[in-house]
Amino acid sequence: MLCDNCSEREAQIHLTQIVNNSVTTLHLCEQCAAEKGVETGASVAKFPLGDFLASLGKTGGGEQAEVAPGVACPFCGGTLKDFRETGRLGCAMCYTTFEPHLRDLLRRLHGSSRHAGEQYAATPGAPVPESPAETGSREVGDLREKLRRAVEAENFELAAELRDRLKVLE
């Protein structure tokens, strides 16, 4: 099948979207998909956790602070190596200890690292503190959200623009 956009290359990416209760499928080649700012789905959809964990050490958190190898969580003693082996974190504080790595991982798993859901009126436990890198990442989070909406609405021009802005920030 040829790409719906350029009608030249073989379509590799089949983007099924549900807009106003009707399903539309867009068949795109990789190049056109990238130009239109379509994430290949692999970043949000099924993706084996093992691959993520294995890639954690290699990609790191970009410009964010790296967790030095061998750093152990002060609460449970768990390390990133433990996490990579078991796929499970040791305690709530691990999320703060390995924050840059986890932010990156959560984004790739869920397409976002920013919780948008409920929060108890008053959590009796001490909330886990935010890191100073927060402010920048919030802007990134907002942009990602806008990008997601733009792709959903098939507004590919806007999506491409947002993707470029994200690239600069990240």
Partner 1 sequence: MIDLALIPDGGLSWLDASGPVSNIVLSTRVRLARNLTTFPFAVRGREEDRRRVLEQVDRVWQRSPLSKGGMRFLVDDLEPADRLLLHERHLISKELASATGHGGGRSHAAVYLAGPLGLMVNEEDHLRLQVFHSGFALGTAYADLERLDRELGAALPVAFHQEFGYLTACPTNAGTGLRASVLIHLPGLVLTKEIAKVLQGLSQVGLTFRGLYGEGSEVVGNFFQLSNQTTLGKSEEELLDHLGKIVRQVVTYEEQARQVLLRDAPTIIEDKVWRAYALLRYARSLSFEEAMNLLSGVRLGVGLNLIPRLSVYTLNKLLIYTQPAHLAALDVRAPKDQEQRAARAAYVRQVLEDEAARAG
Piece of 1-9, 63-71, 81-89, 157-165 that binds partner 1 (CB under 8 A): 81-89
Integer CA distances (angstroms), 4 to 14, 29, 101, in order = 10, 8, 37
CA-CA-CA-CA dihedral for 81, 83, 89, 90, to nearest 10: -40
The only residue of 12, 31, 112, 155 in contact with partner 1, by rule CB under 8 A: 112
User: Alpha-carbon distance 112 to 104, whole Å?
Assistant: 9
CB of 140 to partner 1, least distance (A): 11
Assess contact for 2 and 10: CB atoms under 8 A. yes
Assess contact for 79 and 73: CB atoms under 8 A. yes
- According to CB under 8 A, which residues from 32 to 71 bind partner 1? 41, 44-46, 49
Verify binding: residue 127, partner 1, rule CB under 8 A: yes
Verify binding: residue 120, partner 1, rule CB under 8 A: yes
The only residue of 34, 72, 106, 143 in contact with partner 1, by rule CB under 8 A: 106
Phi, psi angles (nearest 5°) of residue 18: -115, 110
CB of 83 to partner 1, least distance (A): 9
Verify binding: residue 154, partner 1, rule CB under 8 A: no
Verify binding: residue 19, partner 1, rule CB under 8 A: no
